[in-house]
Amino acid sequence: MSGFIAHGFEIIANLVRPSAQVKDVLDLARKITRIFIANSRTSAVMVARQCMAFLLEKFPGEDESIRLLISTLFEVNSLQHLRALHRLCRTEFTDEWYSDARHLLYALVAGQPPALRDFLWVTEILLLLMDLCPTRRLHSTLSTATGEDSSPADSHGRLARRNRRLRVLTADVMKDMLEKVPHGAEEEQQKLWKKDVATIGLYAILCPEVLEREPASSEEDDTAQIRSEMATFPWRVFADSQSFATLQSFTVRLEHMQVPRYGALRSLLLSILHQYVDRARVCEDAQQWRRAMSDAVDALPQNIAIKAKLVQCGYSASLWTELDQAVEPIVTVTTSGTLSHEENLRQNLLRCYEEYGEILQQLHATHVEVDGDQVKVVDLFDDRLSLEQLRGRRAVACRCIDQTLDKSVHENLATRKVSLLTREERLEVECEEMVKKAEVSPKDFQVVLHTSLFHTARACGGGIIGCYAPTGEHCERPLEIGLRADQALASIYHDGLEIENVELVFCEEGAVVYKAYSNGHPYDTSEVWVKFFEVLLSSEQIAVPALIVQPGCPNTQTWLVLNRLVEPATTGFHINGSYDFTSEWRTYLDSRPERVRGGVDIVLTLSFCRPVRQGDRTLRRLASMQKDLAGLIFTDLMARLADDEHYKQFRFLGRSLAQCVGDLVACKDETPEQIISGAFKYDVYRQKTRRDGTETIQEKDEIVESLAQLVRQHTADYCASIGVASLFEASRGNFFDLKHYLYQMRSAKTTLIDAEALKSQTDAIHNALDEHTLLVGIDTLSAADQEELMRWIFVNEDRVWRYRGGRDRNETLHQFFHFLPHRREDVATQPCYPGVLVLSLRSKRAADWSADLFCVEDVVAYAIGEFVELDFGALGYEIVTAYVQPRFRGLKLAVRMYVTAVMESNCSYLMCDMLEGSLESVVTSNPILVAVQHLGLLRYAIRKRELSYEVVDQTGCKEQFEKIVVNARYLRQCRRAHGALCWAQEHPLTSASLLMMPTLALASVYAGFQFLRRRY
């Protein structure tokens, strides 16, 4: 009601004329109240208010027509018409070119109902034209494929030339529409206009250089030249209905890929699309056009390696070739037509509500108050919440957005919030209508597996809810899925319409199944998905070795069915797969599971389809899956229980014990006592022992405590005795699990592991990492490797800083390339040192590495910077950004990189930003700085120290940074002195002591000089 009052009163104030009587005001208030009651929502009133505010502000001379427009739409009580008008209220609509079209809309709502119906498709065509000729475009989309950015002025000029020419090309559509619509246009004519606009849009995508180049002559000659060049375009591709649908979806997705981090992906897709069109120039067979696209995808080096690897792991070699020719159903399932509209609505609204969380993160909100508790934004819309709880949190999120949002600054976020509210209401209305129409009767569903680019481009259409829609936040994903051999889309069709789909990622152990997205249909599809999984595992043509299903996937109903049929994996194992296709962009995924979690995730194998037989490939496949560290410990624990007379009777608690071991290794909060106690049915156990004649006198708490202590001690003993070097060679994942566990034990000062054994194991971990860890100067790599590295760093920094407001002065790839010597124009006059990186070598030791073996996947840490003028006038080296992979933290890699930068850059001063309080831990971790501090000389090494900036990440953690300026020359002298001292200790000779003295004396003199300079 508060929303209704807020929006309704403003509409009344704008619609009522100054000379209006009280009766007129009351009549208008009744109309608004009726539309609110009829729709049971505030959306219609809110949308109308925003439309009126926009139109009156932009077109004050048309106030009478605008009032008539809004009041007429209220009269007919059409929320659909109001939403269509709201989509037009964009900056592009204020252009003079749309003036006649705007007056056409005024005329349509003033006419009879048939003309009012024309209002909807006229707005649809106008939206197509506005998308085709935006008034502004992100700078990156007009950049070259090489990563160089054009100047803003040049970019604006190219966009202006492009829009002017596109309007010339679409002028016939606009003219035709303005002439024929008032007299009534046939449906075929409407479709023809839409197709003409879509065709020109595709041409704009494929031939941007024609539209953006400088005009060679007069405007008439320029237009004639463009039309003659367009005549050579193979328009036959639009005669084939499948090709037209695919290319139209392709065009829309490419136009909306405006995010800089996807520039390389966009360029690659455009090159493949060009090959498709080039084949169409010389061949009339549509199958050959598609073959050109498939050939281009298959020829990518990544796909060649991926397919070879997956076939070795048990995937069918025909998984890609069989499905590439045509879209044929994998399986057709006839169900009873059971409805599940409430859960489907909850799932669809959840996808919608999650976008409110994204808006809050972009507004740098980290927590919101829900029922008196502070809830993290990332946890605001949890999948376990009921529909009522989700709606309550949506209301909280909207209130927080309204309080934070500055519409003058965040116009796009304000529009997005309104779109989400209207989408929510549309989902509710559509769900209600579907339930009314749907009958519980047998229904046929077809499942199609899309593995080719031609087919995935058309999947996830506008009806599918989520960010993979053609204009969604991640509209690139269906195209990227078709581009990759290790990903696929499985879609459910009903009556020829795609109603639901799910994403599959092919890893070595099996295909990971993600959450399903739907169009809001009311059907229970669990039976369909289960049948599809059976076919996918058992078919010889498209077989996969296993399916890895996480909780709630692909939807809640299917997960519950699978839980009744299959128990979760007892022990976990690692998942080996590449979630990123290349270092040039980071693939968006809902999650990136690194392992199958014991007792949580379900693994479906061939035994899911038929009984297991000895020697079955399912058994061989499960045996070949590499257990994680918790799985190894659990296997050893169960063998110990079998040999123990007292504990072997408790082997029936194996699943709970496996969970205990997993939680201990992962250092989770839940205690073994809680897990075992919850699963231990003591009464059943007493009855069994009474029947067996082995009745125990122990109480439940005593047994639980004894088992919990056994699990804790066995886990600690196993980790204290395992061979670190052999574990490092066998499984890096298990190695880092061991490192994490031992570090936690060391921090907790545990008594489970002897201090000597704990130190021995942690030292062995450091030694193993040191043997395979290498510090490398970026300038020692080849120019091509340097650019590949900077692309990877750019993508990684974007991920790290996305919700922290971005890195100032380091937003584009071109700015990161500026760190490289061969990319700088001032390298002859300005010193340049790009920085240092740390490699963790997978197959070689550090001593055997050379620069030609560089692989960006080996990078685990980096520090990059440049020479800048400091505020006190000196030239110093600033470390702009540094990063250490979480698994490698605690190894002092950051300190080693900073020291290397001091030594190798030959700078006078080094400047960097550190977390407040980090300097003290840095000092204690470096022997040189420890010695300098012990001698009381540290104050000469730190030239400046002050607070710099504060950031808040998406989890709500505040991070205060401080700026540190280090006297690099002083540190270099101290390092030489330290080196000489170490040499003297190893060679206790008088000559060595004499050799060391000049260096120590030089360091002392330099410290004294700095002191005198500061003092006087």
Tokens of 186: 């046939």
Q: Which residue has the higher pLDDT, 324 or 228?
A: 228
Residue 181: φ, ψ to 5°: -60, -45
pLDDT for 140 equals 34
The rounded distance, in Å, linking the Cα atoms of 279 and 282 is: 6
List the one residue out of 61, 146, 66 whose CA is nearest residue 109. 66
Mean pLDDT of 632-657: 85
In this predicted model, what pLDDT tens digit does every residue of 142-187 receive, in sequence order?
333 334 445 556 767 777 788 888 888 888 888 888 887 776 777 7
**Contact present, 146 and 68 (Cβ < 8 Å):** no
Token duo for residue 791: 């692309």
Q: In the predicted model, what is the mean pLDDT of the chain?
A: 78
Average pLDDT over residues 68-74: 76
Instruction: Reply yes or no on whether the pLDDT at 806 is more than 60.
Output: no
Distances (CA, A) of 252 to 271, 297, 516: 16, 20, 23
Q: What's the pLDDT score for residue 320? A: 82
> pLDDT tens digit string along 972-1014?
877 777 666 666 666 654 444 444 555 555 555 455 445 444 4
**Spatial distance between the Cα atoms of 897 and 862, rounded to a whole number of angstroms:** 7
pLDDT digits (tens, 9 = 90+) for 126-144: 888 887 776 654 333 333 3
Note the pLDDT of residue 612. Answer: 41
> Quick one: which H or E segment has residue 777?
strand 773-777
Confidence of residue 14 (pLDDT cuts 50, 70, 90): low
DSSP reduced 3-state for 681? coil
Comparing CA positions, the residue from 531, 591, 590, 539 lying closest to residue 562 is 531
d(CA 495, CA 434): 14
Mean pLDDT of 198-217: 77
Q: How many whole angstroms from its chain centre is CA 294? A: 26
What's the average model confidence in pLDDT over 609-616? 48
pTM above 0.75, yes or no: no
pLDDT of 929 > 80? The answer is no
For the stretch 995-1015, what's the b/e string if a residue is b when 16 or more beta carbons lie within 10 angstroms of its beta carbon? ebeebbeebeebbeebeeeee
Residue with more model confidence, 481 or 123: 481
> By the 8 A CB rule, do 183 and 114 touch?
no
Tens digits of residue pLDDT in 826-854: 777 788 889 999 998 876 677 778 888 88
pLDDT at position 421 is 77
d(CA 871, CA 868): 10
Tens-digit pLDDT profile for residues 990-999: 444 444 555 5
* Cα–Cα distance measured from residue 177 to residue 772, given in angstroms and rounded to the nearest whole number: 69
pLDDT band at 353 (very low <50, low <70, confident <90, very high): confident
* Nearest-angstrom CA–CA distance, 857 and 830: 31
Segment 51-59 mean pLDDT: 84
**Token pair recorded at residue 183:** 């007299």
pLDDT of 559 > 50? The answer is yes
One DSSP character per residue, 260-295 reads GGGHHHHHHHHHHHHHHHHHHHH---HHHHHHHHHH
Tell me the pLDDT band of 503, cut-offs 50, 70 and 90.
Answer: very high
State the pLDDT at residue 210. 77
For residue 435, with 0-12 CB atoms within 10 Å meaning exposed, 13-18 middle and 19 or more buried, which class applies?
middle
Alpha helices by DSSP H, 508-626: 526-538, 556-565, 617-624
- What's the pLDDT tens digit per position in 272-306? 988 888 888 888 888 888 888 888 999 999 999 99
Q: What is the pLDDT of residue 143?
A: 36
What is the structure's pLDDT at 548? 93
* Cα–Cα distance measured from residue 557 to residue 500, given in angstroms and rounded to the nearest whole number: 14
Overall average pLDDT of the 9-36 stretch: 60
Q: What's the pLDDT band for 484 if we cut at 50, 70, 90?
A: very high
What does the DSSP 8-state code read for residue 847? G
- Residue in the structure block whose two tokens are 């990078």: 859
What's the confidence (pLDDT) of residue 985? 64
| 513 band by pLDDT with thresholds 50, 70 and 90 | very high
Residue 273 to residue 206: CA distance in whole angstroms: 8
Q: Is the per-residue pLDDT at 926 higher than 80?
A: no
Rg (CA), the chain: 33
Determine the length of the chain: 1016
More confident residue, 1007 or 931: 931
Mean pLDDT for 321-335 is 66
**323 pLDDT above the threshold of 70:** no
pLDDT in tens, 238-261: 777 778 788 878 878 887 776 667
β-pairing verdict for 958-967 and 909-915: antiparallel
How far is Cα 250 from Cα 270, in angstroms, rounded to an integer? Answer: 10
Task: Report how far residue 145's alpha carbon sits from residue 831's, in angstroms, rounded to the nearest whole number.
Answer: 29
Q: What tokens does 346 get?
A: 């909850």
The pLDDT of residue 1011 is 45
- What's the pLDDT at 139? 34
Q: Find where tokens 């375009």 sit.
A: 233
Rounded average pLDDT over 887-908: 84
Indicate if the pLDDT at residue 266 is higher than 50. yes
The amino acid at 408: S
Residue 371: how many CB atoms within 10 A of its CB? 9
Is the pLDDT higher at 349 or at 955? 349
Mean local confidence (pLDDT), 592-605: 87
Confidence band of 113 (pLDDT split at 50, 70, 90):
low
Of 456-465, 828-837, 869-878, which range is least confident?
Answer: 456-465
The secondary structure of 190-240 as a DSSP string is: HHHHHHHHHHHHHHHHH-HHHHHSPP-S-HHHHHHHHHHHHTTS-GGGGTS
More confident residue, 444 or 615: 444
Percent of the chain with pLDDT over 70: 80
**Span 487-497, pLDDT tens digits:** 999 999 988 88
Q: 52 pLDDT exceeds 90?
A: no
Question: What confidence tier does 772 reach under pLDDT thresholds 50, 70, 90?
Answer: confident
User: Residue 159: is it exposed, middle or buried by C-beta count within 10 angstroms (0-12/13-18/19+)?
Assistant: buried
In 405-526, beta strands by DSSP E? 443-450, 487-494, 497-506, 511-518
Q: Using one digit for the tens of pLDDT, what is the confidence trace for 667-680?
A: 887 788 888 888 88
Task: Specify the pLDDT at position 512.
Answer: 94
Of 336-350, 557-571, 820-834, where does the model show the most confidence? 557-571
What type of residue is 93?
F
The Cα-based distances of 419 to 525, 536, 863, 910 in angstroms read 28, 38, 42, 49
Tokens describing residue 42: 């505030």
Q: What is the pLDDT of residue 2?
A: 46
Query: Phi and psi (nearest 5°) for 838?
Result: -120, 130
**Tokens representing 258?**
């405006």
Would the pLDDT of 119 be above 90?
Answer: no
* Mean per-residue pLDDT, 637-658: 85
Q: Reply yes or no on whether the pLDDT at 371 is more than 90.
A: no
Which two three-digit tokens encode residue 714? 């066995």
* 105 pLDDT tier (thresholds 50, 70, 90): confident
Q: By C-alpha distance, which of 469, 472, 521 is closest to 493?
A: 521
Distance CA 718, CA 639 (A): 13
